[in-house]
Amino acid sequence: MKSQDIRAKFLSFFEEKQHSIVPSAPMVLKDDPTLMFVNAGMAPFKEYFLGNAKPKNNRITDSQKCLRVSGKHNDLEEVGYDTYHHTLFEMLGNWSFGDYFKEEAIAWAWELLTEVFKIDKDILYVSVFEGSEEDGLGLDTEALEIWKKYISEDRIITGDKKDNFWEMGDQGPCGPCSEIHVDIRSAEEKAKIPGKDLVNKDHPQVVEIWNLVFMQYNRKANGSLEALPNKHIDTGMGFERLCMVLQGVQSNYDTDVFTPIIKEVEAITNKTYGKDEKVDVAIRVICDHVRAVAFSIADGQLPSNTGAGYVIRRILRRAVRYGFTFLDKKEPFIYRLVEVLDKKMGKAFPELKIQKQLVENVIKEEEQSFLRTLDQGLVLLNRVVEETKEGTVSGTKAFELYDTYGFPIDLTALILSEKGLKLDEKGFEEELQKQKRRSRAASEMSTDDWTVLIEDDVEEFIGYDALEAKVKLTRYRKVTSKKDGDMYQLVFNLTPFYPEGGGQVGDKGYIEDAYGDVVYILNTKKENNVIIHFTETLPKHLNESLKVVVDEKQRHRTECNHTATHLLHQALRSILGTHVEQKGSAVHSKYLRFDFSHFSKLTEDELHDIESFVNARISGKIPLVEKRNVPKEEAIADGAMSLFGEKYGDTVRSIQFGQSIELCGGTHVKNTADIWHFKIVSEGAVAAGIRRIEAITNDGVKGYYTENNRSFQEMKGLLNNAKEPVKALQNLQEENANLKKQIESLLKDKAKNVKGELKSELTEINGIQFLAKKLDLDAGGLKDVAFELGSQFDNLFLLFATEKDGKALLSCYISKELVASKGLNAGQVVRELGKFIQGGGGGQPFFATAGGKNPGGIEQALAEAKNYIV
Ligand code: ATP
Ligand code: MG
């Protein structure tokens, strides 16, 4: 069965059992600060498990893109070396939110595997949680009894907390789980060791394919467990591993998920897969990593220098490195694999199909820039090799190459060993640990349990209509971090505060109680669908009604910028073309920033047209038409631009200003006229094929013009209030250029005169014409004079000095004949006399110069010169 059909069959099986099929959420989630990437199918549904929101259907099925490259789940180092762990993989899941539980979950998993997919029961094993003393939990007999209905008891094993208890994080929903394993070894191998003994022992052909999690507890901050009021099912099956089983192969890479990509790598690199282990590892790494990187970019996470973007950059660099070292690819080629990847997966994941060109461009440029880094690193490393000659290169040096220049340690080790040098790996490891400790210490954080004052499941947001409200505090907690100190997080029964999201900053403002006590709200954020207000202290009277007030001025300025962002988006698509896609935005009170896909620098004319387009809509006084809670499909049918990065169940709100219609949760002005004016302040590149515009509106523009006018007036004042300041300035520039020319020719004349005077000042000592003197000439002048004089004598020794801008300069001229007959050396003279002016220099035996920072030493240097010839 083809992989496409396997995926489709899984989804339709659960659809028949009343599950809604939902698309994969993007891999970078918007409002979950605890996760860098979605690393399990359940991550996008956390708010349902936490009870912060309710899904439309409490049975869902999906294939979720997961990335396990950081934090608790990190399989990166395995990838390429084994045949069944990937960075990006698809997790097939079926979900029950407070609906069915163990009985159905187990029955259906069994039915699907053995009846629909017809997997031989004799290759399956299942596991059950054995219990844990520290948590006061016993064997999961409930699951065991159900399993016994389907599979013989000798195929059921028990597992400990590590393998059979699933936790979302340090806190939150958790529960026991049952894993399903397959044994796909040959009959011969099976005869040697029973499969049961190999379960969970990292055997490449005895692997876990499916994990059924039974969420029934909540882990509290103090580590204790409490029963969840609603029990949930969360299952995750590795799609690529399932394909391996159903296609009868021994490695995920031999399934049709990977073979077309491998073929393409073979064609590009002229290498063959399956002959040499080192080459095979490299090919697997590349085929795996291109998927992770391509989908991250398609989901809006571009490679960068920080956070999630940095992780993506490192994955791509790992692939480049393996290509560079083991496949001899010294030029970009990974981007060329996007084509096959799109053919294979673009249908199931349209985000890739639509953005293919962008993905290719970004990958290509990243490859190019890293290959340049590798080149530079090789130069630096060669220098280290030369300095070391023999023995061991210190861990500190290797760490510097790694940390400062991004030069990978395994490559360093490889090159050193080729040169017969050793690397102090322990020293390197120590440096690495030191750095890790430093960054960990900086980000340490502890979060208390919520103190619940009022049980109130979902808090209401009223910020589209109101800026202040009477509210009640429903819960709060303290968060302590090294970086920010103590902060309180407050949740109210309702709130007008807009939480950071959709690019727009969170509202600020204050809380006031009936006695006039005020606490400032410093920021507002959303976490798993709960709106959290950040304060430095708690309000004094927690249990009374409180007034909360949003900072109106900041909110209004932000709204002007947000609406302008929509108009800018519309302008870009009408002026540059519909290939323009939003790639990110930041809407602050002081400015707005908009990133979009486009392949060349914008011209002055284009920028001007874009500004005019937006300003025409501002003066057109277009009113806001807002629709809340419309089905996404309906909004898109109305012409709303649909953005990737929405996940299932997001409330859809459409914002329309004339022809501009977008799905947006942000806050906006009531009429475009409020924006007053729009001005672009910068345009530039962020990455290959991605441009960024920064712009200002309203008060920002007023401030901008006031400031510009002020400096213009100041400049006019300096130009004696000339009627035509531009002309006056041009005149000044012209005058300046003429003066420069005049000075140059004057200096030349002066040098000529000086030469005449100097000739008369020469004294003869021991048959040598000698002069040591400070002159008022520049470096070029000193040289000219010396060489002019030199052409007239063959027994000349000159030391000239000059002083300019607090710096000293010496220049020494010795006739070539003297150099030969007396063994004199101008280079040596300036080096030695240079110490008086605290400097150094050099040159040739007949002419040399030295610069120094102590003009006070000139006299002494000149006085010493005679010693060379007496
Ligand atoms: P393993 O022990 O094999 O690493 P796991 O216990 O980490 O698996 P779960 O977190 O239970 O796996 O994830 C559910 C399913 O996802 C697994 O049964 C497996 O089929 C699949 N899976 C997990 N990690 C990966 C990975 N890195 N690459 C491909 N599939 C994976
Ligand atoms: Mg794992």
Query: For 267-289, how does the pLDDT look when each residue is reduced to its tens digit (9 = 90+)?
Result: 999 999 999 999 999 999 999 99
Q: How confident is the model at residue 456 (pLDDT cuts 50, 70, 90)?
A: low
| Axis crossing angle, helix 356-388 with helix 395-405, rounded to the nearest 10 | 150
SS3 286: helix
Query: Of 46-55, 79-88, 233-242, which gets the smallest average pLDDT?
Result: 46-55
In a shared domain, residues 89 and 202: yes
Q: Strands 678-687, 690-697: parallel, antiparallel or unpaired by DSSP?
A: antiparallel
Owner of token pair 């077309």: 260
In whole angstroms, give the CA distance from residue 660 to residue 576: 16
Task: Indicate the range of 224-228, 399-403, 514-518, 568-572 predicted with least confidence.
Answer: 399-403
Position 620 scores a pLDDT of: 97
Q: How far apart are CA 135 and CA 226, in angstroms?
A: 10
- Same domain, residue pair 60 and 79: yes
Alpha-carbon gap, residue 663 to 644, rounded angstroms: 11
Q: What is the predicted pLDDT for the residue at 415?
A: 81
378 within domain boundaries: no
Nearest residue to 59 (alpha-carbon basis) of 120, 27, 104, 29: 104
Q: Is 687 exposed, middle or buried (0-12, 13-18, 19+ CB in 10 A)?
A: buried
Q: Can you list the pairs that 595-598 forms with residues at least 24 positions away whose Cβ atoms lie under 8 Å?
A: 595/686, 595/690, 595/691, 595/692, 596/569, 596/572, 596/690, 596/691, 596/692, 596/693, 597/355, 597/358, 597/689, 597/690, 597/691, 598/572, 598/689, 598/690, 598/691
pLDDT of amino acid 363: 95
The residues near 58 (Cβ < 8 Å, ≥ 6 apart) are 96, 97, 98, 99
User: Reduced to 3 DSSP states, what percent helix, strand and coil does the chain have, rounded to the nearest 5?
Assistant: 45, 25, 30
Residue 329 lies in a domain: yes
Query: Is the pLDDT reported for residue 691 higher than 60?
Result: yes
Separation CA 602–CA 101 (nearest Å):
57
CB contact set of 459 (below 8 Å; sequence gap of 6+): 474, 491, 492, 493, 494, 495, 530, 531
Who's near 448: CB < 8 A, 6+ residues apart?
A: 221, 477, 478, 479
226 three-state secondary structure:
strand
User: Average pLDDT, stretch 316-341?
Assistant: 94
Mean pLDDT across the stretch 262-269?
A: 97
Give the pLDDT band of residue 458 (cuts 50, 70, 90): low
- The domain that contains 500 carries what CATH number? 2.40.30.130
The DSSP secondary structure of 109-133, one letter per residue, reads HHHIIIIIS---GGGEEEEEE--BT
Residue 731, pLDDT > 70, answer: yes
47 and 188 in a single domain? The answer is: yes
Q: Which two tokens stand for residue 102?
A: 């163990």
Tokens (6 digits) for 620: 């057109």
Three-state DSSP state, 824: coil
Is 605 in the same domain as 668? yes
SS3 annotation, 431-459: HHHHHHHHHHHHHCEEECCCEECCCCCCC
Residue nearest to atom 7 of ligand 1 (CA): 73
Candidate from 263-267, 342-346, 520-524, 748-752 with smallest mean pLDDT = 748-752
Among protein residues, the one with the nearest Cα to ligand 1's atom 10 is: 40
Q: Of the ligands numbered here, which is closest to the C-alpha atom of 200?
A: 1
Q: Which residue has the higher pLDDT, 686 or 150?
A: 150
Q: Which residue has the tokens 């100041």?
A: 714
- How many beta carbons lie within 10 A of that of residue 239, not counting itself? 25
Beta strands in 753-843 (DSSP E): 763-765, 768-774, 796-804, 807-814, 839-843
User: Is 60 exceeded by the pLDDT of residue 755?
Assistant: yes
Residue 168: predicted pLDDT: 79
Instruction: Identify residue 728 by its one-letter amino acid code.
Output: A
Q: What total number of domains does the chain contain?
A: 6
Closest C-alpha among 124, 154, 347 to residue 237: 124
Pair (156, 184) in one structural domain: yes
In a domain, 512, yes or no: yes
Q: Which ligand is closest in space to the CA of residue 258?
A: 1
Residue 643 has pLDDT above 80, yes or no: no
In percent, the amount of the chain with pLDDT more than 90 equals: 69
Number of alpha carbons in the 13 Å side-chain half-sphere of residue 561: 28
Averaged over 649-672, what is the pLDDT?
89
**C-alpha to C-alpha distances, 103 to 441, 773, 862, nearest whole angstrom:** 45, 103, 100
- Does 625 share its domain with 535? no
Higher pLDDT, 457 or 637: 637
**Model pLDDT, residue 651:** 63
Contact 836, 861 (CB under 8 A): yes
pLDDT at 389: 72
Query: Which residues have C-beta within 8 Å of that of residue 427, sequence separation ≥ 6?
Result: 394, 395, 396, 398, 399
Nearest to 367 by CA among 359, 379, 355: 359
* Token digits of residue 80: 């390429």
Q: What is the 3-state secondary structure (H, E, C) of 390-441?
A: CCEECHHHHHHHHHHHCCCHHHHHHHHHHCCCEECHHHHHHHHHHHHHHHHH
Task: Please check whether residue 535 lies inside any domain of the structure.
Answer: yes
Query: 68 C-alpha to center of ligand 2: Å?
Result: 8
pLDDT surpasses 80 at 33: no
Q: Grade residue 373 by pLDDT with cuts at 50, 70 and 90.
A: confident
- The distance from CA 195 to its chain's CA centroid, rounded to whole angstroms, is 43
Site to probe by mutation for ligand 1, drawn from 208, 237, 241 as the one with most ligand atoms within 8 Å of Cβ, is 208
DSSP code, position 202: T
What's the DSSP call for residue 171?
S
Q: How far apart are CA 9 and CA 242, in angstroms?
A: 12
The pocket around ligand 1, CB under 6 angstroms, is made up of 40, 68, 75, 85-86, 89, 91, 207-211, 236-238, 240-241
Cα 33 to averaged position of ligand 2 atoms, centre (Å): 22
Please state the rounded mean pLDDT for residues 81-95: 97
CA dihedral 658, 659, 663, 666 (to 10 degrees): -40
Q: Is the dihedral of CA 453, 457, 460, 461 positive or negative?
A: positive
**How many angstroms does the Cα of residue 208 sit away from the middle of ligand 1?**
7
| Long-range contact set of residues 792-797: C-beta below 8 Å, sequence gap at least 24 | 792/759, 793/769, 794/818, 795/767, 795/768, 795/769, 796/762, 796/768, 796/769, 797/768, 797/769, 797/770, 797/771, 797/824, 797/865, 797/868, 797/869
Q: Which of 777, 806, 816, 801 is nearest to 850 (CA)?
A: 801
277 C-alpha to center of ligand 2: Å? 23
- Over the stretch 474-483, which tens digit does the pLDDT of each residue have? 999 999 987 7
Q: Give the ligand whose atoms come closest to the C-alpha of residue 77.
A: 1
Q: 209 alpha carbon to ligand 1 midpoint, in Å?
A: 7
Atom 11 of ligand 1, nearest CA residue: 211
Angle, to 10 degrees, between the axis of helix 409-418 and the axis of helix 356-388? 40
Q: Are residues 560 and 520 in the same domain?
A: no
Q: Has residue 727 been placed in a domain? A: no
Instruction: Quick: pLDDT tens for 565-613.
Output: 999 999 999 999 988 988 889 999 999 999 999 988 999 999 999 999 9
In a domain, 14, yes or no: yes
The residue that leads in pLDDT, 458 or 346, is 346
Among candidate residues 550, 584, 601, the one where a domain is terminated: 550
Express each pLDDT in 156-196 by its tens digit. Answer: 999 999 999 998 778 888 999 999 999 999 999 999 999 99
Domain limits for position 356: 272-369
Of 218, 217, 181, the C-alpha closest to 200 is 181
Domain boundary among 550, 568, 585: 550
In a domain, 517, yes or no: yes
Q: pLDDT band at residue 650, thresholds of 50, 70 and 90?
A: low
Q: Indicate if 10 and 89 belong to the same structural domain.
A: yes
645 phi and psi, to 5 degrees? 105, -5
Tell the residue nearest (CA) to atom 21 of ligand 1.
238
Q: What's the chain's length in residues?
A: 870
Q: What are phi and psi of 422, to 5 degrees?
A: -105, 155
Dihedral in degrees, nearest 10, Cα atoms 645, 648, 653, 654: 60
pLDDT of residue 77: 85
CATH number of the domain encompassing residue 835: 3.10.310.40
Are 33 and 170 in a shared domain?
A: yes
Q: 189-243 pLDDT, tens per residue?
A: 999 999 999 999 999 999 999 999 999 999 988 899 999 888 999 999 999 999 9
As a whole number of angstroms, the distance between CA 789 and CA 237 comes to 90
Of all atoms in ligand 1, which is nearest to the CA of residue 177? 11
Are 785 and 800 contacting, i.e. CB atoms less than 8 angstroms apart? yes
> Given this model, what pLDDT does residue 644 score?
57
Buried b (16+ CB within 10 A) or exposed e, 248-272: ebebbbbbebbbebbebbbebbebe
Quick one: 460 and 431 in the same domain?
Answer: no
Residue 649: pLDDT band (50, 70, 90) is low
For the stretch 773-818, pLDDT in tens is: 999 888 888 898 899 899 899 999 999 999 988 999 999 999 999 9
Residue 444 has pLDDT above 80, yes or no: no
Question: What was the pLDDT predicted at 779?
Answer: 86
Atom of ligand 1 nearest to the CA of 241: 20
What spacing in Å lies between the alpha carbon of 408 and ligand 1's midpoint?
Answer: 28
Which pLDDT belongs to residue 420?
84
Q: What is the pLDDT of residue 62?
A: 96
Label residues 337-351 b or e (16+ Cβ within 10 Å = b). bbebbbebbbebbeb
Kindly give the number of the ligand 1 atom that is closest to the alpha carbon of 252. Answer: 29
State the average pLDDT for the chain.
92
Q: What is the CATH number of the domain that holds 205?
A: 3.30.930.10
Domain finish residue from 515, 550, 585: 550
Q: Are residues 428 and 454 in the same domain?
A: no
Nearest CA to ligand 1 atom 5: 208
* pLDDT of residue 564 exceeding 60: yes
Per the model's pLDDT, the better-predicted residue between 665 and 209 turns out to be: 209
pLDDT confidence of residue 645:
61
* Gap between the Cα atoms of 413 and 424, Å rounded: 9
396 is a domain residue: yes
The answer on 184 and 101 residing in a single domain is yes
Query: What percent of the chain has a predicted confidence (pLDDT) above 70?
Result: 99
